[in-house]
Structure 1
Amino acid sequence: MIAATRLAPLLLGALIAAATLSSSVSAQQVFDLSPEQPGRPRAEKNEEAIKLIGKDAKFAKDGVFTVAIASTRLPFGAYGTDTRTLVGSEPDIAQLVADSLGRKLEIVSVAWADWPLGVASGKYDAVVSNVTVTEARKEKFDFSTYRKDLLGFYVKASNPISIKEPKDVAGLKVIVSSGTNQEQILLRWNEQNIKDGLKPVELQYHDDDVVLYLALESGRADAYLGPNALLGFRAAREAKTRLAGNFSGGWPLLAEIAVTTRKGNGLAEAITQAINTQIGNGNYAKALTRWNLAPEAIEKSATNPAGLPKS
């Protein structure tokens, strides 16, 4: 993750531009980046969740749920058209939790490296910023899950291929970022395929997104493997690529994203209950769908589930 930076209004305008494409390609989706966020789901106060707040729980501010968000990449979070207000899927989830706990939401934009100390010290009540549950993090933090951590294979919109398992990438030219979790998984898939007598994968590395997507559009590459949320948002916005298959970012283990709070501060169970109530009443689905994250929805929030193992 990178330190928060403000997006220029012209860039934001480009992000929400829509156009009618040919019948072979899905229409571009329009995403609301206004500071008012009229489509953001809101929740009623949840007395059941409030009762689960620990007796010794302390909030950073009275009557406020202070949330750190360390992303300026959509769909997670970015500055809206006023260049001041953070909008995106993470602010939407944070709003539902704050409403459920009967508190005003205050979002603080932070650098990724700063949230652990901020949460541990009580400066922020929670971080809602695409944080994956890991066993190492569970030593210092509590978790309330709210989304699957998925990777996705994206292909040219007119490309009919489907990728569901290792053998499906045999012989393909696949773009992946060097040094990433997805690269390690793809390398393991490739090793398995070679052992099974299948054609190897041709891995491609591109530092420039323009070059990367040109490779997909021209057929010089068959697929791009990366974080499903980011690639899916771009696919919905531009309608030039489509999802060909996805799997857990912890493959072969389950990886989940969670609201992260200081360990033992008495908030996790209340937040989990709040999320489950919103799953039940449909607000949760609305929050994900409006940012093209429906594929990453979970059926039930859990407190401190098994996380990815220590390396």
Structure 2
Amino acid sequence: MAFFDRKKYALAGVITAVALSCTAVNAAEKFNLSPDTSNRVRAQKDEAAIKAIAPSFKFVNPGKFTVGINPWDPPIATYAADAKTVVGADPDIAQLLADSLGLQLELVSVAWEDWPLGVSSGKYDAVISNVTVTEERKLKFDFSTYRKDVLGFYVKADSKITSIKEPKDVAGLKVITGAGTNQEKIILEWDRQNVAAGLKPIEVQYFDDRAAADLALQSGRADVEFNPNATQAYNATINGTRKLVGTLSGGWPITAEIAVTTKKGAGLADAVTLAVNDLIKDGKYAEVLKRWSLSAEAIDQAKTNPAGLPKSGS
């Protein structure tokens, strides 16, 4: 596991911070990152969805839809200029669902590693944070899908790498990805296949913040980043320092979807799925995705607990 050496790269870190400040200004111009959430797309109360909530289900905070969310990267979810308000596509989806269920939205920031315990222990009613449906996760959680899972390979804008479509294309490269994610599983499987075929192994790199990953890619300490396409496309649009060289379903070799995550058997999933489908029908769902340039990841129909990515080793 490779982490950013903040002492060794202190000066470079300062330069990166300045660059990120400029990026934030550009982002504000292209996307609305204001802490003023009064302009969020809103929905009407969905009586059918409300009736679909199991009588036994009790919201964490009466009258509120308490949602755990990881403000990791725009346009999915990030902190606004006030450094405390969470904005982005997932917060907007959460708002639509809260409205549909006749509730006030309460977002709770959570580290990615902590959301499973938060849902299982009843700390949140749901987590809406780019979570992919997997068979292993379905043992503990219920899912209501709301977006396609698309991953992207991005390189430095002037990189000689022009296309990544299959395992051999990343042989011998230094690849940034997220620990404990589906993209990590994919890249490790590609590495296994490459090594078995006698090709050079991949050097997988993990970073604990966006600035560190960007610095590694721009400095040449990494060759490519393989993570959710939405966030990388956002960065590419804003700063112009990286380019897309390939995409992949987050469920490679099968299709994967992102879902609202609730406690297994709690009795909320069917209501959420019904609400998402009604939002798809009335156009509010499409309006949110368009606002964050995510229309390409739209689904035609939400499903409760569809087939997910297979469990490890299966």
Q: Letter of the 1:306 partner, please give it.
A: A
CA distance in 2, matches of 1:12, 1:170: 30
| Paired residues of 1:44 and 1:100 also in contact (CA < 8 A) | yes
Aligned to 1:255: 256
4+ runs deviating over 6 angstroms: 9-12, 158-162
Within-5 A mapping of 1:1-311: 13-18=21-26, 30-156=30-156, 163=163, 165-166=165-166, 170=169, 174-177=173-176, 180-187=184-191, 190=194, 203=202, 208-209=212-213, 210-215=215-220, 221=223, 224-311=225-312
CA distance in 1, matches of 2:193, 2:34: 42
Q: Letter of the 1:135 partner, please give it.
A: E
Point out the structure with the larger helix share. 2
Deviations 1:172-198 (A, max 9, x none): 875413772242244367479x69xxx
Q: Which runs of 5+ in 1 are unaligned?
A: 1-8, 20-27
Aligned to 2:8: none
| Paired residues of 2:194 and 2:201 also in contact (CA < 8 A) | no
User: Cα gap change, 1:115/1:43 in structure 2, threshold over 3 Å: closer, same or farther?
Assistant: same
Q: Letter of the 2:124 partner, please give it.
A: Y
Q: Letter of the 1:106 partner, please give it.
A: E
TM score, norm. by length of structure 1:
0.78
CA distance in 2, matches of 1:11, 1:54: 49
| Paired residues of 1:68 and 1:128 also in contact (CA < 8 A) | yes
CA distance in 2, matches of 1:184, 1:232: 23
Deviations 1:111-150 (A, max 9, x none): 3333223222322110111212111221121100112222
Deviations 1:220-262 (A, max 9, x none): 95x5433212312211221233333311122102222111111
| Paired residues of 2:171 and 2:191 also in contact (CA < 8 A) | no
| Paired residues of 1:15 and 1:237 also in contact (CA < 8 A) | yes
Q: Letter of the 1:145 partner, please give it.
A: T
User: Cα gap change, 1:246/1:229 in structure 2, threshold over 3 Å: closer, same or farther?
Assistant: same
Deviations 1:43-62 (A, max 9, x none): 11112211211122211122
**C-alpha root-mean-square deviation of aligned residues, in Å?**
3.2
TM score, norm. by length of structure 2:
0.77
CA distance in 1, matches of 2:57, 2:280: 25
| Paired residues of 1:115 and 1:127 also in contact (CA < 8 A) | yes
Aligned to 1:4: none
Instruction: Name the SS for the 2:117 alignment partner.
Output: helix
| Paired residues of 1:166 and 1:190 also in contact (CA < 8 A) | no
Deviations 1:73-132 (A, max 9, x none): 322322211222111222111111101111110111123333223222322110111212
Q: Letter of the 1:47 partner, please give it.
A: E
Q: Which runs of 5+ in 2 are unaligned?
A: 1-16
CA distance in 2, matches of 1:238, 1:189: 34
| Paired residues of 1:145 and 1:303 also in contact (CA < 8 A) | yes
More deviation, 126-135/275-284? 275-284
CA distance in 2, matches of 1:185, 1:262: 30
CA distance in 2, matches of 1:257, 1:127: 11
Q: Letter of the 1:18 partner, please give it.
A: N
| Paired residues of 1:66 and 1:105 also in contact (CA < 8 A) | yes
Q: Letter of the 2:60 partner, please give it.
A: A
Instruction: Name the SS for the 1:152 alignment partner.
Output: strand
Instruction: Name the SS for the 2:26 alignment partner.
Output: coil
| Paired residues of 1:120 and 1:262 also in contact (CA < 8 A) | yes
Q: Share of identical aligned residues, percent?
A: 48
| Paired residues of 1:142 and 1:260 also in contact (CA < 8 A) | yes
| Paired residues of 1:153 and 1:244 also in contact (CA < 8 A) | yes
CA distance in 2, matches of 1:12, 1:58: 42
